[in-house]
């Protein structure tokens, strides 16, 4: 069902944090232009509305439509469409970079040399099949009105081992959240599968969306949560929430989510050349301004503006836990199954 989403009041933006993981929604499109492009993305709807507005100004002759949803749900949609022989998308922007490796291996992506490639601070595909477009940071968060900072874990290690918060911690479901799966891969590589055992002993609660986790953090039901930085920053700026980000002492997990063009064999509209101009815009200073306005960090090396209430990107990166994206791809099912087994 098509829904028209308008950013009228702050609470609507907050509700989109959970909505992105329940249904696929359509934003924009319908102009009938020959330059039609469909973009699948896991970005929050209120951010997509701002992106759509900027794209309409930059490309008035393009008909650009977004289909939004959680990474896991959109991956399932893509798998179903692939089985049918053609995707419904021309550009894909999901949160799990390892998925770009998978689609490249399947021969479904279009290669091109972005004019912005030299300006990127994060790795991109050497053959031009995918580029980083936004940086999502997995952090911890707490409510200073309920707990002092020294009364809650300040590291991912202690998040899974500090008995003071047992039963009062939460994280997203990695089956639907690509950034959570990426984080589990990084923590498995750093601490071993024993980390999953520790989460089980901590009785970690699994949430399917951020809105419920944020509500429980505000009421005190949760003492500390694992969450994307952008969710906390957005809540602080738009709802003036008394919540604080903890950049874990053992390292933030930085996830440079990618943008990729579906090749004409598989794409919805066979319009790869038009898609190239859109990717170049996303990677440009103009496009990155919209990304940072959406509480995510820029991927450019010459871009120093940061999201509201955040820290400099280079400072976060200096103390970050790396993610091995090949491991993320090869061991995805093993990580998910081990997590489910060991956290019970």
Measured in whole angstroms, the distance separating CA 168 from the mean position of its chain's CA atoms is: 24
CA 4 – CA 177 distance, rounded (Å): 24
Q: Are residues 262 and 212 in the same domain?
A: no
Q: Are residues 24 and 76 in the same domain?
A: yes
Contact 306, 292 (CB under 8 A): yes
Tokens at 333, concatenated: 């099912």
Within a domain: 1: no
Give the DSSP letter string of 13-26.
HHHHHHHTTT--EE
Question: Which domain covers residue 275, as residue numbers?
Answer: 10-134+255-310
Q: Are residues 117 and 171 in the same domain?
A: no
Would the pLDDT of 4 be above 60? no
Q: Are residues 267 and 293 in the same domain?
A: yes
User: For position 12, what pLDDT does the model report?
Assistant: 36
Contact 301, 117 (CB under 8 A): no
Within a domain: 332: yes
Say which residue, 210 or 229, is predicted with more confidence: 229
Q: Are residues 333 and 247 in the same domain?
A: yes
Would the pLDDT of 324 be above 60? yes
Q: Are residues 327 and 224 in the same domain?
A: yes
Our count of domains for the chain comes to 2
CA 267 – CA 140 distance, rounded (Å): 38
Say whether pTM exceeds 0.95.
Answer: no
Q: Are residues 175 and 198 in the same domain?
A: yes
pLDDT band at 21 (very low <50, low <70, confident <90, very high): very low
Q: Give the model confidence (pLDDT) of 97-127 as tens digits.
A: 999 999 999 999 999 999 999 999 999 999 9
Say which residue, 21 or 291, is predicted with more confidence: 291
Pairing of strands 131-142, 224-228: antiparallel
Say which residue, 296 or 28, is predicted with more confidence: 296
CA 188 – CA 190 distance, rounded (Å): 5
Q: Are residues 150 and 80 in the same domain?
A: no
Residue 140's closest CA among 121, 156, 129?
156
Contact 227, 210 (CB under 8 A): yes
User: For position 28, what pLDDT does the model report?
Assistant: 61
Q: Which residue has the tokens 């990304």?
A: 291
Contact residues for 302 (Cβ-Cβ < 8 A; gap 6+): 119, 285
User: For position 114, what pLDDT does the model report?
Assistant: 98
Within a domain: 41: yes
Residue 55's CATH number? 3.40.190.10
User: For position 24, what pLDDT does the model report?
Assistant: 67
Within a domain: 146: yes
Write down how long the chain is. 344
Q: Are residues 175 and 210 in the same domain?
A: yes
Within a domain: 2: no
CA 155 – CA 160 distance, rounded (Å): 9
Torsional class of 29: left (φ above 0), alpha (ψ -120 to 50), beta (otherwise): left
Tokens at 313, concatenated: 């990107």
DSSP 27: E
Q: Which residue has the tokens 């179903």?
A: 80
Contact residues for 140 (Cβ-Cβ < 8 A; gap 6+): 152, 153, 154, 156, 159, 224, 225, 226, 227, 245, 246, 248
Q: Are residues 288 and 333 in the same domain?
A: no
Q: Are residues 87 and 69 in the same domain?
A: yes
Tokens at 236, concatenated: 């602080």
Would the pLDDT of 31 be above 80? no
Q: Which residue has the tokens 């972005």?
A: 114
User: For position 29, what pLDDT does the model report?
Assistant: 61
Other CB atoms within 10 A of residue 18 CB: 18
Q: Are residues 198 and 321 in the same domain?
A: yes
Say which residue, 31 or 307, is predicted with more confidence: 307
Tokens at 219, concatenated: 């009421």
């Amino acid at each position: 069902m098509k829904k028209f989403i308008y950013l009228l009041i702050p609470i609507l933006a907050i509700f989109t944090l959970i909505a992105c993981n329940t249904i696929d929604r359509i934003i924009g499109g319908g102009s009938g232009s020959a330059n039609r492009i469909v973009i699948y993305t896991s970005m929050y709807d209120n951010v997509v509305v701002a992106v759509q507005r900027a794209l309409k100004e930059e490309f008035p002759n393009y008909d650009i439509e977004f289909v939004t949803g959680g990474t896991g749900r959109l991956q399932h949609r893509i798998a179903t469409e692939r089985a049918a022989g053609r995707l419904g998308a021309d550009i894909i922007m999901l949160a799990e970079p390892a998925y770009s490796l998978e689609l490249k291996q399947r021969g479904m992506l279009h290669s091109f040399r972005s004019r912005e490639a030299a300006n990127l601070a994060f790795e991109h595909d050497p053959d031009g099949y995918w580029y980083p477009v936004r940086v999502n940071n997995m952090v911890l968060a707490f409510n200073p009105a309920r707990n002092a900072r020294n009364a809650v874990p300040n590291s991912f290690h202690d998040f899974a081992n500090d008995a003071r918060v047992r039963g009062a911690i939460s994280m997203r479901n990695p089956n639907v959240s690509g950034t959570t799966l990426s984080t589990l891969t990084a923590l498995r590589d750093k601490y071993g599968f024993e980390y999953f055992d520790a989460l089980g002993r901590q009785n970690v609660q699994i949430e399917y969306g951020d809105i419920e986790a944020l509500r429980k953090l505000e009421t005190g039901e949760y003492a500390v949560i694992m969450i994307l930085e952008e969710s906390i920053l957005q809540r602080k700026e738009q709802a003036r929430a008394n919540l604080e980000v903890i950049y874990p002492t053992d390292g933030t997990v930085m996830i440079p989510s990618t943008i990729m063009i579906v090749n004409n064999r598989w794409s919805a509209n066979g319009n790869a050349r038009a898609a190239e101009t859109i990717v170049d815009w996303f990677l440009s200073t103009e496009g990155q301004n919209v990304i940072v306005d959406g509480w995510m960090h820029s991927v450019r090396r010459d871009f120093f503006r940061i999201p509201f209430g955040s820290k400099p990107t280079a400072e976060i990166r200096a103390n970050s836990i790396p993610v091995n994206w090949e491991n993320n791809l090869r061991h995805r099912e093993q990580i998910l199954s081990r997590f489910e087994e060991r956290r019970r």
